[in-house]
Amino acid sequence: MMCGIAQISPFLLFGGLLLVGTVAAPENASSRGDDVTGAWTVEQVVASLKEEREPEVPFEEATHSSLLSAPLIVRGILRFTPPSRLEKEVLEPYHERYVVEGDLVTFESERKRLKKSISLGDYPGLRGFVEAFRAGFTGDAGRLMQSYDTVIEGTRLKWTLVLRPRDPAGRAMVEDLVFAGSEGRISSIVIHAADGDRSVMTLRRGAAK
Partner 1 sequence: MRASRWPVFIWSICFVGALWLAATELSIHSDLSDLLPEGTTNTQRLLLTQVRSGLAGRLILVAIEGAEPDELARLSRDLSKRLQGDAQIDFVGNGAQGLPSDEQELLFRLRYFLSSTLQVDTFSVDSLRGALEKRLDDLRSPFGLLIKEYIPSDPTGEFLGILQSWSEWEAPTKHREVWMSADLQRALLVVQTKAAGFDAEPQAAIQQHIQAVFQRLREDSSSARLLLSGPGVFAVEIQQTIEQEIWWLSVTASLLVVVFLCVTYRSVTLMVLSLIPLTSGILAGLVAVNSWFGFVHGITLGFGITLLGVVDDYPIHLFSHLTRKESAQTTMRAIWPTMRLGIVTTAIGFSSLLLAGFPALAQLGLFAVAGLGTAAVVTRWVLPVCIPAGFVPRDISPDLGRLVGGLPKAKIVVPVAVILATIVLIWSDTPLWQEDLESLSPLSADKKELDQHLRQELGAPDVRDLLVVEGTSVEALLMKAEAMMPRLEQLREGRVLSGYDIVSRYLPSHHMQQDRLKVLPEREVLERNLAVAQKGLPFMPGLFAPFVTAVAEARSLPFIDRDTFRGTTLGMKLESLLFSHQDEWLAIVPLRGVLDRTQLATAAASWGDTSVSYVDLKEESNRLMRAYRNRMMQLVGWGTIAITVSLAVGLGSITRLGPVLAPIGCALIVVVAVLKGSGESISLFHVATFLLVIGLGLDYSLFFNRREGTESERAKTVFGLLVCSTTTILVFGLLAFSKIPVLHAIGLTAACGSLCCLLFSGLMAQREATDA
Contacts to partner 1 by CB under 8 A: 1-14, 61, 63, 65-70, 72-74, 94, 96, 98, 109, 111-112, 119, 121-122, 124, 127, 173, 193, 195, 197
Burial class (CB within 10 angstroms; exposed 0-12, middle 13-18, buried 19+) of 75: middle
Nearer to partner 1, 39 or 62 (CB): 62
Nearer to partner 1, 72 or 207 (CB): 72
* Shortest Cβ 81–partner 1 spacing (Å): 19
Distance between CA atoms of residues 69 and 49, nearest Å: 36
* Shortest Cβ 59–partner 1 spacing (Å): 13
The sign of the torsion formed by the CA atoms of 118, 123, 126, 128 equals positive
Burial class (CB within 10 angstroms; exposed 0-12, middle 13-18, buried 19+) of 203: buried
Distance between CA atoms of residues 142 and 158, nearest Å: 26
Nearer to partner 1, 29 or 73 (CB): 73
Nearer to partner 1, 40 or 59 (CB): 59
Nearer to partner 1, 40 or 148 (CB): 148
Torsion of CA 114, 120, 125, 126, to 10 degrees: 60
* Shortest Cβ 8–partner 1 spacing (Å): 5
Burial class (CB within 10 angstroms; exposed 0-12, middle 13-18, buried 19+) of 16: buried
Distance between CA atoms of residues 48 and 186, nearest Å: 11
* Shortest Cβ 90–partner 1 spacing (Å): 8
* Shortest Cβ 140–partner 1 spacing (Å): 14
Distance between CA atoms of residues 170 and 168, nearest Å: 5
Nearer to partner 1, 54 or 122 (CB): 122
* Shortest Cβ 156–partner 1 spacing (Å): 32
